[in-house]
């Protein structure tokens, strides 16, 4: 009889795949006692046992790359620590491009890898052929080699992590299924388990206030039972392994993303894996309870197109017999990123799941980061990309997940074009004027399920994206929209804004503790502010409008709404009387911006929009058409303008009134690409890119929005300290001197010839006449003058372009236009 689970634990980890084993390993490494891992069957029996074991260090962001690199180093060290052979091999990886677009992409990735400190070499065609003699070089245009990449034995890595955890006291119990989760007062209180041994069933309960859901493809349904949103869905994932091939020799991992394929040599055999464009979702009705080291039925027809290309690309496959045709399920998420962190719905409910076929390379780092987060109350660095709080409740819908993951699997190897939009499971959340915008040529993108007009096609122009790395076919459309915002009047729809109402007797006191700026202002005033953490990092970037003595409206990005709601609720204590309500769907938001916005509004409203009657950073209720709206005088494009908050029932009417009057004022409908192009000229920061929870508010250049006159707010001490110590880095604005190249984000920044950082957000500055970006530059002990005196270049796909640099916005540094 195996050991019975304990009655109490400090933390219970659910699931003994690589994710759960890594969390157990890292919690115990931090000295946590009474850590229990419960696995329903056997360790690794879910997805982990059959992974291909590719180890690729370069990920989409610096911090995810840091985690992947951490995994690589850990898996090397584990063997010595635990005595379990992890099969890790640093044989490098090659990615080849078959198209000009892919070549541009891998060159951009190589430049980024260098900025992130990952060794990478662009290699010539003859070097590719030399390193991979079996490859048919027909159509190959170039490639990159990452010597630090490689491969491992996934199940053994998981077993080594489990052994390491056990050695430090973790209790790992197999054959023990968690069947229920207990909670009280919004917090986890325990789990119930069941096990079957020798024909006997036993059940029990463990009291704990911390669980970690590492249940892989089972994780979604288990989370849903506790009201936790964990949007993932299993997909069938295929590879084949050949019989032994004579003289194959040691080879690096090879990726041919244009043919959706990767190749791994292992023990004299060749593995060919696929990321096909249309994947097969699996297990929509739930993952079978009895699944244990199982595989799914072969589907030769589905795999055939990949195999045909592969036989051409790697001719030796034609003669090699197929030893294994493997089809195994893996969890995929709507945005191809995994989930880490504490669920916003339930205190003490942590998550590490949804790995999108990179769970082996990710789990080492993810386990480290999650354990740090659980231990210290904050992640070791910004992990917003994978934060569970980015999930939206509607994403629990299984049909949505089913349809979306059929696309996301293939997107891993698709061209990662800038502005690329998902094609599946669209149209879930729409503005009340969606059809109006569509009828006028809007081309939509998706954020947090919202359809948002990104740009407007001209009559006769196809209203769709054609992607590319150079100027896209909508470049001139956006230039004209930009021009209207700068010189005339434009309207863009921001109904997707997250809107949070905070009201009650203590609302002002409560918000003043959370906001770095002073929000105890007269009703009608609008305050731009950040929420800081104890390190001075930025948790949220928002406006706070005081609607009355006791009611405030907080306007936040659509994507961060649940993170922001969670931050508020976490800081509400029992002695504070304030009610927090998500009112996002209650109002549409039309941004009427540009020097002629005053004239347009004057044509649809009897109210006074003069500076005296309606100054900058104030809100007024206005009559508009036959309806009412709140006009907020703020701007994210750096021009005179108003955001109109309109009850959704009146939104279409108000839009029609504006559009009618707009005919006499050359009103131009604009999309969010033009908005973003204007905001980057004005150097307004974008949350998640330019400012994150690891970016200090002073280094981000937002000290003007911090009120040190307030005696108490979260992060005040960190601001004080930074003022005393001096800045270590500064956010600068760059503009390429050459007008042609484009910046998106992640392009390396070189100072006097040395890589010092990368562009955190970029766009084309149609008014400034070149690509514009923001990025941090180290500046320890330097004056602003010294920082600006250097020569700056930006590396775009391996070519360096000279850049102008500024600490103040290059467009309208005195902000005269917004106040005009």
Q: List contacts with ligand FAD (CB under 6 A).
A: 14-20, 38-41, 45-48, 50-54, 154, 177-178, 214-218, 222, 237, 239, 328, 330, 353, 355, 357-361
Residue (49 or 684) nearer to ligand FAD, CB: 49
Residue 514 in tokens: 């959370």
Contact (CB, 8 A) for 457 and 451: no
Cβ count near 220 (within 10 Å): 29
Residue (265 or 493) nearer to ligand FAD, CB: 265
CA distances in angstroms from 31 to 8, 268, 636, listed in the order given: 17, 42, 47
| C-alpha to C-alpha distance for 378 and 372, rounded to whole angstroms | 7
Residue (53 or 490) nearer to ligand FAD, CB: 53
Cβ at position 693, least distance to ligand FAD in Å? 25
CA distances in angstroms from 583 to 511, 588, 644, listed in the order given: 17, 11, 15
Q: List own/partner pairs for 435-443 with CB under 8 A and 24 or more apart.
A: 436/652, 436/655, 436/656, 436/659, 437/493, 437/669, 438/463, 440/669, 441/669, 442/669, 442/671, 443/474, 443/671
| C-alpha to C-alpha distance for 474 and 482, rounded to whole angstroms | 12
Contact (CB, 8 A) for 684 and 635: no
Cβ at position 223, least distance to ligand FAD in Å? 11
Question: How many whole angstroms from its chain centre is CA 352?
Answer: 15
Cβ at position 791, least distance to ligand FAD in Å? 40
Nearest to 15 by CA among 35, 53, 41: 41
Cβ count near 698 (within 10 Å): 18
Residue (86 or 454) nearer to ligand FAD, CB: 86
Tell which phi-psi region holds residue 789, choosing left (phi > 0), alpha (psi between -120 and 50) or beta: alpha
Residue (260 or 774) nearer to ligand FAD, CB: 260
Residue (339 or 444) nearer to ligand FAD, CB: 339
Question: How many whole angstroms from its chain centre is CA 355?
Answer: 13
Cβ at position 34, least distance to ligand FAD in Å? 18
Cβ count near 740 (within 10 Å): 11
Cβ count near 502 (within 10 Å): 24
Chain position carrying tokens 């819908």: 397
Residue (35 or 453) nearer to ligand FAD, CB: 35
Cβ at position 237, least distance to ligand FAD in Å? 4
Backbone angles phi, psi at 709, to 5 degrees: -70, -20
Cβ at position 505, least distance to ligand FAD in Å? 44
Residue (112 or 211) nearer to ligand FAD, CB: 211
Rounded to 10 deg, the angle between the 507-514 and 561-571 helix axes is: 110
Cβ at position 206, least distance to ligand FAD in Å? 12
| C-alpha to C-alpha distance for 141 and 655, rounded to whole angstroms | 50
Cβ at position 232, least distance to ligand FAD in Å? 10
Residue 655 in tokens: 């839009």
Residue (179 or 647) nearer to ligand FAD, CB: 179
Cβ at position 191, least distance to ligand FAD in Å? 9
Residue (67 or 442) nearer to ligand FAD, CB: 67
- Sign of the torsion angle spanned by Cα atoms 430, 432, 435, 439: negative
Cβ at position 770, least distance to ligand FAD in Å? 39
CA distances in angstroms from 768 to 444, 678, 739, 804, 811, listed in the order given: 26, 10, 9, 11, 8
Residue (154 or 348) nearer to ligand FAD, CB: 154
Residue (25 or 239) nearer to ligand FAD, CB: 239
Residue (216 or 662) nearer to ligand FAD, CB: 216
| C-alpha to C-alpha distance for 20 and 168, rounded to whole angstroms | 15
* Total residue count of the chain as it appears in this document: 820
Residue (48 or 496) nearer to ligand FAD, CB: 48
| C-alpha to C-alpha distance for 170 and 120, rounded to whole angstroms | 38
| C-alpha to C-alpha distance for 295 and 93, rounded to whole angstroms | 27
Residue (43 or 374) nearer to ligand FAD, CB: 43
With a CB cutoff of 8 Å and minimum separation 6, the contacts of 210 are: 10, 11, 12, 188, 348, 350, 374
Cβ at position 98, least distance to ligand FAD in Å? 22
Burial of 31 (0-12, 13-18, 19+ CB in 10 A): exposed
Cβ at position 446, least distance to ligand FAD in Å? 25
Cβ at position 93, least distance to ligand FAD in Å? 11
Per DSSP, the residues of 789-812 read HS-EEEEETTEEEEEEEESS-SS-
Contact (CB, 8 A) for 413 and 275: yes
Cβ at position 354, least distance to ligand FAD in Å? 8
DSSP 632: E
CA terminus-to-terminus distance, the chain:
80
Residue (255 or 716) nearer to ligand FAD, CB: 255
Strand spans (E) along 294-448: 322-332, 339-342, 349-353, 442-447
Cβ at position 124, least distance to ligand FAD in Å? 27
| C-alpha to C-alpha distance for 491 and 607, rounded to whole angstroms | 19
Residue 310 in tokens: 């592969």
Cβ at position 386, least distance to ligand FAD in Å? 13
| C-alpha to C-alpha distance for 461 and 474, rounded to whole angstroms | 10
């Amino acid at each position: 009889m195996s050991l019975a689970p304990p009655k109490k634990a400090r933390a219970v980890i659910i699931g003994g795949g690589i994710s759960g084993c890594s969390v157990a390993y890292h919690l115990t490494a931090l000295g946590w006692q009474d850590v229990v891992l419960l696995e329903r069957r056997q360790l690794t029996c879910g997805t982990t046992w059959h992974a291909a074991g590719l180890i690729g260090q370069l990920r989409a962001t610096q911090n995810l790359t840091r985690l992947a690199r951490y995994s690589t180093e850990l898996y090397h060290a584990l063997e010595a620590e635990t005595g379990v052979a992890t099969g890790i091999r640093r044989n490098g990886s090659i990615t080849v491009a078959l198209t000009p677009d892919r070549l541009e992409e891998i060159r951009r990735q190589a430049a980024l890898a260098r900025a992130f400190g990952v060794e990478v070499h662009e290699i010539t065609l003859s070097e590719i052929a030399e390193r991979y003699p079996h490859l048919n070089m027909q159509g190959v245009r170039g490639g990159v080699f990452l010597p630090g990449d490689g491969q491992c034995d996934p199940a053994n890595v998981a077993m080594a992590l489990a052994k390491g955890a056990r050695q430090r006291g973790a209790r790992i119990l197999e054959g023990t299924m968690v069947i229920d989760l207990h909670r009280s007062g919004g917090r986890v209180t325990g789990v119930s388990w069941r096990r079957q041994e020798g024909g006997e069933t036993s059940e029990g309960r463990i009291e704990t206030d911390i669980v970690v859901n590492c249940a892989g493809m089972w994780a979604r349904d288990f989370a849903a039972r506790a009201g936790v949103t964990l949007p993932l869905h299993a997909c069938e994932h295929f590879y084949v392994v050949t019989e032994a091939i004579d003289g194959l020799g040691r080879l690096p991992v090879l990726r041919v993303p244009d043919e959706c394929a990767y190749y791994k040599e292992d023990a004299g055999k060749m593995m060919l894996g696929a990321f096909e464009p249309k994947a097969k979702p699996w297990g929509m009705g739930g993952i079978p309870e009895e699944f244990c080291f199982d595989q799914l039925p072969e589907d030769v027809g589905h795999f055939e197109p990949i195999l045909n290309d592969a036989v051409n690309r790697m001719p030796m496959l034609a003669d090699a017999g197929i030893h294994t045709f493997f089809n195994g399920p893996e969890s995929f998420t709507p945005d191809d990123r995994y989930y880490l962190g504490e669920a916003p719905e339930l205190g003490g409910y942590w998550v590490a799941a949804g790995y999108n076929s990179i769970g082996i390379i990710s789990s080492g780092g993810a386990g480290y980061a999650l354990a740090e987060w659980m231990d210290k109350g904050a992640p070791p660095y910004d992990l917003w990309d994978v934060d569970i709080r980015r999930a939206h409740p509607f994403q629990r819908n299984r049909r949505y997940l089913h349809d979306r993951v059929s696309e996301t699997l293939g997107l891993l190897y698709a061209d990662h074009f800038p502005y690329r939009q998902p094609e599946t499971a669209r149209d879930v959340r729409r503005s009340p004027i969606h059809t109006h915008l569509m009828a006028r040529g809007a081309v939509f993108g998706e954020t947090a399920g919202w359809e948002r007009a990104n740009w407007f096609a001209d009559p006769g122009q196809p209203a769709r994206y054609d992607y590319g790395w150079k100027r896209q076919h909508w470049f001139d459309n956006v230039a004209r929209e930009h021009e209207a915002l700068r010189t005339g009047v434009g309207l863009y729809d921001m109904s997707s804004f997250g809107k949070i109402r905070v009201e009650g007797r203590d609302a002002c006191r409560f918000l003043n503790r959370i906001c770095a700026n002073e929000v105890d202002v007269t009703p009608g005033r609008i305050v731009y502010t950040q929420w800081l953490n104890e390190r001075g990092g930025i948790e949220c970037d928002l406006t706070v409008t005081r609607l009355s003595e006791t009611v405030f409206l907080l306007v936040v990005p659509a994507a961060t709404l649940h993170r922001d709601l969670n931050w508020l609720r976490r800081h509400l204590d029992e002695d504070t009387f304030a009610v927090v309500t998500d009112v996002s769907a209650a109002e549409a938001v039309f941004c009427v911006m540009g020097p002629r916005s005053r004239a347009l509004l004057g044509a649809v409203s009897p109210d006074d929009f003069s500076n005296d009657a309606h100054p900058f950073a104030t809100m007024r209720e206005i009559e508009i058409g036959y309806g009412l709206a709140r006009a907020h005088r703020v701007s994210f494009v750096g021009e005179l303008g108003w955001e109109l908050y309109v009850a959704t029932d009146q939104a279409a009417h108000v839009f029609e009134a504006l559009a009618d009057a707009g005919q006499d004022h050359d009103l131009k409908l604009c999309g969010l690409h033009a908005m973003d192009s204007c905001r980057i000229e004005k150097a307004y920061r974008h949350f998640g890119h330019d400012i994150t929870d690891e970016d200090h508010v002073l280094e981000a250049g937002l000290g003007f929005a911090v009120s040190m006159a307030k005696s108490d707010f979260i992060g005040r001490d960190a601001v004080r300290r930074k003022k005393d110590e001096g800045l270590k880095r500064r956010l600068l604005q760059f503009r390429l001197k050459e007008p042609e190249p484009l910046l998106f984000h992640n392009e390396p920044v070189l100072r006097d010839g040395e890589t010092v950082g990368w562009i955190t957000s970029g766009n084309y500055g149609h008014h400034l006449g070149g690509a514009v970006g923001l990025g941090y530059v180290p500046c320890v002990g330097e004056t602003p003058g010294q920082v600006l005196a250097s020569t700056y270049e930006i590396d775009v796909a391996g070519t360096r372009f000279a850049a102008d640099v500024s600490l103040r916005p290059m467009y309208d540094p005195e902000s005269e236009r917004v106040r005009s």
